[in-house]
Structure 1
Amino acid sequence: MTDRRAYDRTDHTNPFLSGLFAPVHDEVTALDLPVTGHLPSRLRGRYLRNGPNPLHVEDISAYHWFGGEGMIHGVRLRDGRAEWYRNRWVRSDAVAGRLGEKLLHGPRHLGMDFAPNTHVQFFAGHYLALVEGGSLPYELDPELFTVGPFDFHGTLPGGLSAHTVLDPHSGELHAVSYCWAWPYVQYVVAGTDGCVRRHVDIPVRGRPMMHDFSLTEHYVLLYDLPVVFTGRTGDGFPYAWDPGRPARLGVLPREGGAQEVRWLDIDPCFVFHPMNAYEHGGRFITVHLVRYERLFDGERPGPDDHPAHLERWTVDLAAGTVRRQQLDDRPVEFPRTDPRRLTGPHRYGYAMRAREHAGDEGAYGAGLVKYDLERGTSTEFAVGPGGDVGEGVFVPAGPGAGEDEGWVLAFAYDPLREATDLLVLAAQDFGGEPVARVHLPVRVPLGFHGNWIPDLP
């Protein structure tokens, strides 16, 4: 265990610095983790998850969950064993300086230096920590130490997105990036060599927050919605609901130019996370996503100020319309599906069932939900009182396995141990007991997104 006591107090006046949101203070390496149940031998790789873990908070009353420096939490599984758990801050220059370490330096976009705190992706041999807003991703090594900022070998024209789509057919990486400092929206495609081969600058009005996007076989879907950058930086919350901004969905051909974006009017809303999108019938696009009626219009904006629900949108390209259908009354977030099904038809999806008042309870996830979108049914795995669970990531049992033949991995807080477990749930027995619980020696603070990164063949 390495002592990194840079931010060493829990503040109970701010819900994002207390309870299960509270940052941890140490970087830990733990080997040969205890396991309840049996880890499938086919799980050979790393489960990595990113999330905010502030080193320093200038104004505690103004601090928001989204603003903390990123920390990667990882578990290495191999041959039925949990070989290690590690957590490491992403070393931007500011983080390295506060820790008293040598600065890594490296490329910058518009001089931005931020430790990405939102997602982690493996692409073209690189482990990448991701964030939105114009900052570059940071590369990590397989043991979660920071290599430095990554600009796709000098080919990335701006920043990157917190969410990327790895096309399972071409192996290329797609992203829709925006920048608050120098307003732009860019669609970026990186080839399997790790270099950007194409980018399109898309004109938009003002400074919209475009957290995510959707990709189909032939189209890119752009969510231009009424949440905008306000100009506040530092510890202040930088986004707000703009009731005067129209909501619209952009449809861009994958190989088209900016002039080919077709904008379709939709009801005011906000979308953090689509689950998947696909084309059918020659004129329709189906999108499964999580929709907020409004967002970021309260005193302390957060993920719980308005509930979000799973919806199905049907885009009629001939008529230029978007039809909505709510699929679940439960508040949910962090939707995922089988990564092999991205951009194409899918039957199953997974989401975290959110609590109604996350900030007040110091917790966020009450359970995980598996959706059968073909039959219109669902199965829930619930955590007990005082517990919490994060995003569920589906891992197929093998390249040729069925769509729900595999496991769902998620970090879950165990109040009896006062520490976190890595849950391994059988996707085909989703409501039953976990196949395995890997017992971490520490609490993992509530965070955002992660991925399963299998060992290379």
Structure 2
Amino acid sequence: MSAGIPGAGPSKTHDFAITDRHAVFLDLPVTFRFDLVGQGMPDAWDDGCAARIGIMELDRPGHVRWLGIDPCYVLHVGSAHTDAPGRIVLDGARYSAADTVAMWSRLGGATPATPATPAADAAALGVARLHRWTLDPATGSVTETARDDRPVEFPTLDDRLVGRASRYLHAVSDGADAPSAAEARGIAAIVEYDDATGAADTHPLDAAAGEAVFVPAQDGTAEDDGWLLTITTRRDGSASQLLVLDAADLAGPAVAAVTLPRGVPAGFHRSWIED
């Protein structure tokens, strides 16, 4: 079954989330612009577009309820689930208005009129930060909470828990502890967020890391019984490595580091598929 969902405009909807009961859509103030075609990425921040999250019950396709949120942009959601009171809890990598413009410029896109908020220091990199939205379908209320202030992207979790509550969320940091934008460009880490304790463990790296993919242990019982796989790439173009980390001891040494025959350009997404 298919159903159309009317939108407010040509917003760039790159990702969405699901829970056991809902699909969750993002309609945010980055829009496609024909006048920017040929100038890189034809997407731009539009102050005239409201930021909102849509919730759709899975058994009512096409019926979406939109809830307004503070202006921002989200390329990648991390996890979503329905909590005990029936609220939708959504985690994602949130860009502010200034961060969005800087990020688009860094990726090679055009830079339209920058919002009034200045992008300075680390914000000049166009970085996202892990954020949580709690949406209540019964009341229409939305609560927004910053989970961390370090720059992160590509949040991931155990694929078996997509749409359900999960304790751990993983992300890639590029400049987690840097005091300035210039220094942030050379720092990378894999970050593991523990929703039960609020802690965030890191595995510092000396190379840029791709999205961390969780591979469960065959006989594992705990949620973190398994490994995190990521491809790291040095900025000098030398050979990349497939890095294997113990998800239960992220701060510890790598389980394995497999040097690849050549450098692999930093990529975006991958999935583990059993043989």
Name the TM-score class by shorter chain.
Answer: 0.7 to 0.9
> What secondary structure, in the 3-state scheme, does the structure 2 residue paired with 1:207 have?
coil
Aligned residue in 1 for 2:14: 211
> Which of residues 242, 248, 255 is equivalent to 1:435?
255
Give, as a single letter, the amino acid of the residue that structure 2 aligns with 1:368.
Answer: I
With normalisation by structure 1, the TM-score equals 0.52
> What secondary structure, in the 3-state scheme, does the structure 2 residue paired with 1:452 have?
coil
**Counterpart Cα distance in 2 of 1:368 and 1:210:** 26
The root-mean-square deviation of aligned C-alpha atoms, in Å, is 2.6
Aligned residue in 2 for 1:274: 77
Aligned residue in 2 for 1:241: 45
> What secondary structure, in the 3-state scheme, does the structure 2 residue paired with 1:428 have?
helix
Q: What is the 5 A alignment of 1:322-337?
A: 322-337=142-157
Measured after TM superposition, the shift of residue 378 of structure 1 is 1.1
**Counterpart Cα distance in 2 of 1:217 and 1:445:** 36
> Which of residues 291, 306, 320 is equivalent to 2:94?
291
Q: What is the 5 A alignment of 1:362-381?
A: 366-381=188-203
Aligned residue in 1 for 2:118: none
Q: What is the 5 A alignment of 1:147-162?
A: none
Higher relative contact order (CA 8 A, sep 6+): 1
**Counterpart Cα distance in 1 of 2:219 and 2:57:** 29
Measured after TM superposition, the shift of residue 360 of structure 1 is 7.4
**Counterpart Cα distance in 1 of 2:195 and 2:256:** 27
**Counterpart Cα distance in 2 of 1:322 and 1:364:** 36
> What secondary structure, in the 3-state scheme, does the structure 2 residue paired with 1:275 have?
strand
Measured after TM superposition, the shift of residue 265 of structure 1 is 0.8
Residue 362 and residue 313 in structure 1: after superposition, are their counterparts in 2 closer, same or farther (change >3 A)? Answer: closer
Residue 449 and residue 244 in structure 1: after superposition, are their counterparts in 2 closer, same or farther (change >3 A)? Answer: same
Measured after TM superposition, the shift of residue 200 of structure 1 is 1.7
Residue 278 and residue 299 in structure 1: after superposition, are their counterparts in 2 closer, same or farther (change >3 A)? Answer: closer
Give, as a single letter, the amino acid of the residue that structure 2 aligns with 1:279.
Answer: T
Give, as a single letter, the amino acid of the residue that structure 1 aligns with 2:200.
Answer: S
With normalisation by structure 2, the TM-score equals 0.85
> Which of residues 225, 234, 250 is equivalent to 2:54?
250
Residue 271 and residue 360 in structure 1: after superposition, are their counterparts in 2 closer, same or farther (change >3 A)? Answer: same
Measured after TM superposition, the shift of residue 281 of structure 1 is 2.2
Deviation track 1:60-116 (CA, whole Å, cap 9, x = no partner) reads xxxxxxxxxxxxxxxxxxxxxxxxxxxxxxxxxxxxxxxxxxxxxxxxxxxxxxxxx
Give, as a single letter, the amino acid of the residue that structure 1 aligns with 2:94.
Answer: R
Does the 8 Å contact 1:309/1:331 carry over to 2? yes
Give, as a single letter, the amino acid of the residue that structure 2 aligns with 1:395.
Answer: V
Identity %: 39
- Richer in helix (by share): 2
Residue 422 and residue 254 in structure 1: after superposition, are their counterparts in 2 closer, same or farther (change >3 A)? Answer: same
User: Is 1:413 the counterpart of 2:233 in the alignment?
Assistant: yes
**Counterpart Cα distance in 1 of 2:91 and 2:184:** 29
Q: Which runs of 5+ in 1 are unaligned?
A: 1-197
- Richer in strand (by share): 1
Measured after TM superposition, the shift of residue 401 of structure 1 is 3.5
**Counterpart Cα distance in 1 of 2:247 and 2:103:** 39
User: Is 1:200 the counterpart of 2:3 in the alignment?
Assistant: yes
**Counterpart Cα distance in 2 of 1:411 and 1:345:** 27
Give, as a single letter, the amino acid of the residue that structure 2 aligns with 1:353.
Answer: S
Does the 8 Å contact 2:174/2:208 carry over to 1? no
Residue 423 and residue 284 in structure 1: after superposition, are their counterparts in 2 closer, same or farther (change >3 A)? Answer: same
> What secondary structure, in the 3-state scheme, does the structure 2 residue paired with 1:450 have?
coil
Measured after TM superposition, the shift of residue 331 of structure 1 is 0.5
**Counterpart Cα distance in 2 of 1:281 and 1:272:** 27
Aligned residue in 2 for 1:444: 264
Give, as a single letter, the amino acid of the residue that structure 1 aligns with 2:21.
Answer: H
> Which of residues 127, 136, 156 is equivalent to 1:316?
136
Aligned residue in 1 for 2:158: 338
How many residues are paired up? Answer: 255
**Counterpart Cα distance in 2 of 1:336 and 1:378:** 14
